């Protein structure tokens, strides 16, 4: 397994004081917290930080880590000596803030036995305090294609879900779930999967799994709530004379009438063509007039005739009149 | 051979009228007093009910409360600070999305 350099993860020296470590952790935690950060790998970064802090904030764990890790570099292959745990007692420490269920193999092999009871998914809480019959509710974030949000349908998600075997040693194991996404879910909404959270104790029911849905950015469509926005390029003569064009929507192509005298930036609405719901969203078309480059002499002449015959100054509003 | 299992049905929370204090406690694994603290500083607001045990919250409250609890747990942000952070986080998300559109459209 790979050796983890917890000091370099937190960006502190090996002789850093407890205060330095705390400060470094707090600062990086703010930067990479999945609820705050826009970095794509925030979740794994934050996990790594928590793991590093879990070890370095605890004098006993830190001492054990220092002793075992002498001479190792980040990423180097690491094997702990077979009997090393006998020298240290982590039994009573427990975990206070971290997500032990998703810590690395490296962490597990060093401090695994202390992790009993501390495991949780993203957002859950440790079960150390008190006995509850019902299993814990878990939470996760899931990205789905916009098309799935529109029509609903099956989507497979993979969760780093902590298992809780009888012996108390907790391991994170990826768990795949095939979920039927309800049609009409919008960005940031939650869906609930009944009974898919933590297992209950004894005869207690399992908890629920909450999935916070995020819509994957789409090549064409921009969702905002239930409404869908689309840039619609049109030719200058289509804008001037009006026309009917084919427009893509999530439900397929539709015909759309462009009124004569349409302006660039104008917004046209296709009622009820957004994400389903009550009421369903609309689709908005943002007109963008695109002037083609003349490729032939004839095309160039057409432009020249327009220049000579059309009394049009697009910049008339920029000068003079205000005074 | 892997057998095809039927998909797990999911309930869209937003389709419900409201969630209860009990559901919030369960989903966030926190005590009711703690939820009340978050209500007092405006992290979430009940839209019906006079007393805590009658409170009903808009479904969206759940995601906000979970976030507030994580900010508290992971970054030691107090309830009032969490309320402020959540409002800013939501505003930033909207602005980031708009910015992405303006800077050359949606990304793949």
Q: What is the pLDDT of residues B39-84, one digit of tens each?
A: 999 999 999 999 998 999 999 999 999 999 999 988 989 999 999 9
**Beta carbons of B74 and A29 less than 8 Å apart:** yes
Interface probe for B, chosen from A28, A139, A197 (most Cβ of B below 10 Å), is A139
Residue B67: left (phi > 0), alpha (psi -120 to 50), or beta? alpha
Question: What's the per-residue H, E or C state across chain B?
Answer: CCCCCCCEECEEHHHCCCEEHHHHHHHHCCCHHHHHHHHHCCCCCCCECCCHHHCEECCCHHHHHHHHHHHHHHHCCCHHHHHHHHHHHHHHHHHHHHHHHHCCCCCC
Residue to mutate among B9, B27, B86, B89, with most A CBs inside 10 A, is B27
Q: Give the pLDDT score at A96.
A: 39
Residue A189 near residue B12 (C-beta atoms within 8 A) = yes
Q: What percent of chain A shows pLDDT beyond 90?
A: 53
- What residues are paired with A228 via a beta bridge? A223, A283
Does residue A123 belong to the interface with chain B, where contact is any CB pair within 8 Å? yes
Q: Which residues of B touch A (CB under 8 A)?
A: 5-15, 26-30, 59-60, 62-63, 66-67, 69-71, 73-76, 85, 89, 93, 96-97, 100-101, 105-108
Q: Say if residue A304's pLDDT is above 90.
A: yes
pLDDT category of residue B108 using cuts at 50, 70 and 90? very low
Cβ neighbours for A249, distance < 8 A, ≥ 6 positions apart: A228, A270, A273, A283
Distance CA B65, CA B75 (A): 15
| CA distances in angstroms from A273 to A148, A173, A175, listed in the order given | 15, 41, 36
Nearest-by-CA chain B residue for A123: B70
* Phi-psi group of A107: left, alpha or beta (phi > 0 → left; psi -120 to 50 → alpha; rest → beta): alpha
Average per-residue pLDDT for chain A: 82
pLDDT reading at A125 higher than 70: no
Closest CA to A64 of A48, A81, A83, A87: A87
Helix H or strand E segment including A10: helix A6-10
Higher per-residue confidence, A189 vs A115: A189
Best-predicted range by mean pLDDT among A12-21, A62-71, A94-103, B95-104?
A: A12-21
Question: Cβ separation of A125 and B29 shorter than 8 Å?
Answer: yes
Task: Verify whether the Cβ–Cβ distance A189 to B105 is below 8 Å.
Answer: no
Residue of A178, A190, A224 with shortest CB distance to B5: A178
- Which chain A residues touch B73 with a CB distance below 8 Å? 97, 125
* Residue among B11, B70, B105 minimizing CB distance to A123: B70
Chain B residues touching residue A185 (CB < 8 angstroms): 12, 14
- Calculate the dihedral angle through the C-alpha atoms of A29, A32, A35, A38, rounding to the nearest 10 degrees: 160
Per-residue pLDDT, averaged over A177-192, amounts to 93
If you average pLDDT over residues B12-36, what whole number do you get?
91
Residue A77, pLDDT > 80, answer: no
Any CB–CB contact under 8 A between A142 and chain B? no
Q: Do A35 and B71 touch (CB under 8 A)?
A: yes
Contact B86, B67 (CB under 8 A): yes
Nearest beta carbon to residue B63 from set A178, A190, A229: A190
Crossing angle of helices B61-75 and B79-102, in 10° steps, is 110
Q: Nearest-CA neighbor of B14 among A34, A276, A148?
A: A276
Token pair of A189, please? 């909404």
Q: Examine the pLDDT at A265 and tell me if it is beyond 50.
A: yes
End-to-end CA distance of chain B: 34
CB A170 within 8 A of CB A118: yes
Across A22-181, where does the E strand assignment appear?
A: 138-144, 153-163, 171-181
Residue with tokens 């890790």: A69
Distance of CA A242 to the CA centre of its chain: 42
Q: Is A191 in Cβ contact with B11 (below 8 Å)?
A: yes
How far apart CA A214 and CA B32 sit, in angstroms, is 29
**A207: pLDDT strictly greater than 60:** yes
* Each residue's pLDDT tens digit, A134-175: 888 888 889 999 999 999 999 998 886 554 444 444 455 678
Q: Measured between beta carbons, which residues in chain B are less than 8 angstroms from residue A219? A: 106, 108
The strand pair at B11-12 and A190-193 is best described as: antiparallel
Cis peptide before A279 (omega within 30 of 0): yes
Query: Which residue did the predictor score with more confidence, A321 or A164?
Result: A321
A211 touches chain B (CB under 8 A): yes
Q: Enumerate residues 263 to 282 of chain A having a beta carbon within 8 A of any beta carbon in chain B.
A: none
Helices (H) and strands (E) in chain A, counts: 8, 11
Residue A32 touches chain B, beta carbons under 8 Å? no
């Amino acid at each position: 397994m790979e050796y983890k350099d917890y000091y370099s993860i937190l960006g502190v020296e090996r002789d850093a004081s407890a205060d330095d470590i705390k400060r470094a952790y707090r600062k990086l935690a703010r930067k990479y917290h999945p609820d705050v950060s826009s970095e794509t790998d925030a979740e794994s970064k934050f996990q790594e930080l928590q793991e590093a802090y879990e070890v370095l904030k605890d004098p006993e764990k830190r001492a054990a880590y220092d002793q075992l890790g002498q001479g190792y570099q980040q990423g180097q292959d690491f094997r702990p000596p077979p009997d090393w745990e006998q020298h240290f007692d982590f039994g009573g420490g427990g975990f206070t803030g971290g997500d032990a269920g998703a810590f690395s193999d490296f962490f597990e092999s060093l401090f695994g036995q202390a992790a009993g009871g501390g495991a949780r998914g993203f957002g859950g809480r440790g079960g150390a305090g008190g006995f509850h019959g019902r299993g814990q509710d878990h939470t996760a974030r899931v990205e789905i294609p916009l098309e799935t949000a529109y029509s609903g349908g099956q989507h497979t998600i993979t969760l780093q879900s902590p298992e809780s075997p009888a012996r108390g040693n907790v391991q994170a194991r990826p768990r795949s779930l095939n979920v039927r996404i309800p049609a009409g879910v919008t960005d940031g909404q939650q869906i609930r999967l009944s009974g898919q959270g933590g297992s209950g104790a004894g005869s207690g029911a399992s908890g629920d799994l909450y999935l916070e849905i995020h819509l994957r950015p789409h090549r064409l469509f921009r969702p905002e709530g239930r409404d869908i926005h689309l840039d619609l390029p049109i030719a200058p003569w289509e804008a001037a004379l009006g026309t009917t064009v084919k427009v893509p929507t999530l439900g397929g192509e539709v015909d759309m009438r462009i009124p004569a005298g349409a302006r660039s930036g104008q917004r046209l609405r296709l009622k009820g063509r957004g994400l389903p719901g009550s009421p369903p969203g609309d689709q908005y078309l943002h007109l963008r007039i695109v002037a083609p480059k003349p490729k032939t002499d004839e095309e160039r002449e057409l432009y020249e005739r327009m220049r000579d015959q059309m009394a049009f100054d697009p910049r008339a509003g920029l000068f003079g009149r205000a005074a | 051979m892997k057998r095809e299992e039927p998909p797990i049905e999911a309930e869209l929370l937003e389709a419900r009228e409201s969630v209860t204090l009990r559901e919030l406690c369960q989903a966030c694994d926190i005590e009711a007093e703690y939820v009340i603290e978050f209500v007092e500083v405006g992290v979430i607001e009940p839209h019906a009910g006079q007393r805590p045990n009658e409170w009903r919250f808009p479904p969206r409250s759940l995601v906000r409360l979970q976030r507030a609890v994580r900010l508290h747990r992971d970054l030691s942000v107090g309830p009032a600070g969490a309320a402020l952070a959540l409002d800013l986080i939501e505003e930033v998300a909207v602005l980031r999305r708009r910015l992405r559109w303006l800077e050359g459209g949606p990304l793949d």
